[in-house]
Structure 1
Amino acid sequence: MQLNSYLMFDGNCEAAFKLYEQCLGGKITMMMTHKEAPSADNVSLEWHDKIMHACLELKDRLLMGSDCPPGYFEPPQGFYVQVSVPDPDEAERIFYALAENGKVKMAIAQTFWSARFGMLIDQFGTPWMVNCEQVV
């Protein structure tokens, strides 16, 4: 079994996934608009350029997402997407890239359980935890 996250966006999925690809070092392997889908005739013209499905490969994990149809988007709550990296400098780089134009909930710093840990909500409304475990 593999557990992956699927994120829903309010019309800005493409921009979010381009940022995630850049700062997480993954590769977007799929970015399908509603216009490219077989169901394009059933979608309003204003919605044709919105993302029906996106997939970002991050080594052996996937981050997926799409734009919610109008009127269906709900802001995320009750979870965080957690990123764990082995290097404190890399943790800080990712944290600050995701935090740009977003909201820091807990500044990235050394904690009793990690070399670096921080929490934020990015500019697209996605909550993130960035962690760098301590080397024992």
Structure 2
Amino acid sequence: MKTVIEPYLFFRGRCEEAVEFYEAALEAKRVMLMRFEEAPDQPPEGMLAEGWGKKVMHASVWIGETMVMMSDGCGADEGGFDGFRLSIAPENEEQAKKIFDALSSGGSVEMPLGKTFWSPCYGMCTDKFGVGWMVNVVAEQQ
């Protein structure tokens, strides 16, 4: 059995903006984006916040070799990104700096990029949507 973990992120009404951000910052490739009003079956009465028909019910993007799924959720109170970070492993320090700078733009830096005992280039940031990231260039094995 092959098991794959695919993150599913809820953006509290900012999903389309997040998809566009990751397309620019990480060269994410959009697979699909469906709005609630486009769904073949509509959510049960009262499940969806009023005025959310144009919000994103489901989106999928490839970031490198990982499928990341996203949604606005069903209302502004749903979501939040506490207790985890997404880790991304660029091939080299130049790529790491480009990714780190793009992800941290409009967000915050918790640990600037720098050399660590396990990586020639590692840093932690949180993007403008509140998603935590670890950028980690894998050290060459001696």
- Asked if Structure 1 and Structure 2 have the same fold, meaning a TM-score greater than 0.5 normalized by the shorter chain, the answer is yes
Q: C-alpha offsets along residues 37-94 of structure 1, whole Å, 9 cap, x if unaligned?
A: 1217955661011110010013432011101222542421111011011111101100
Give the structure with the higher percent strand. Answer: 1
Contact 1:40 1:48 in 2 (8 A): no
Counterpart position of 2:7:
5
Structure 2 unaligned regions, length at least 5: none
TM-score by length of 1: 0.90
Q: Distance in 2 between matches of 1:92 and 1:112?
A: 18
Could you tell me the percent identity over the aligned residues? 35
What pairs up with 1:88-127 in 2 under 5 angstroms? Answer: 88-127=93-132
- Secondary structure of the residue aligned to 1:46 is coil
Contact 2:49 2:75 in 1 (8 A): no
- Secondary structure of the residue aligned to 1:123 is coil
Counterpart position of 1:30:
32
Structure 1 unaligned regions, length at least 5: none
Number of corresponding residues: 136
Instruction: Tell me whether 1:55 sits opposite 2:60 in the alignment.
Output: yes
Give the structure with the higher percent helix. Answer: 1
TM-score by length of 2: 0.87
Q: Distance in 1 between matches of 2:20 and 2:10?
A: 15
User: Which runs of 4 or more aligned residues in structure 1 lie more than 2 Å from their structure 2 counterparts after TM superposition?
Assistant: 40-45
Distance verdict in 2 for CA 1:103–1:50, change over 3 Å:
same
- Secondary structure of the residue aligned to 2:17 is helix
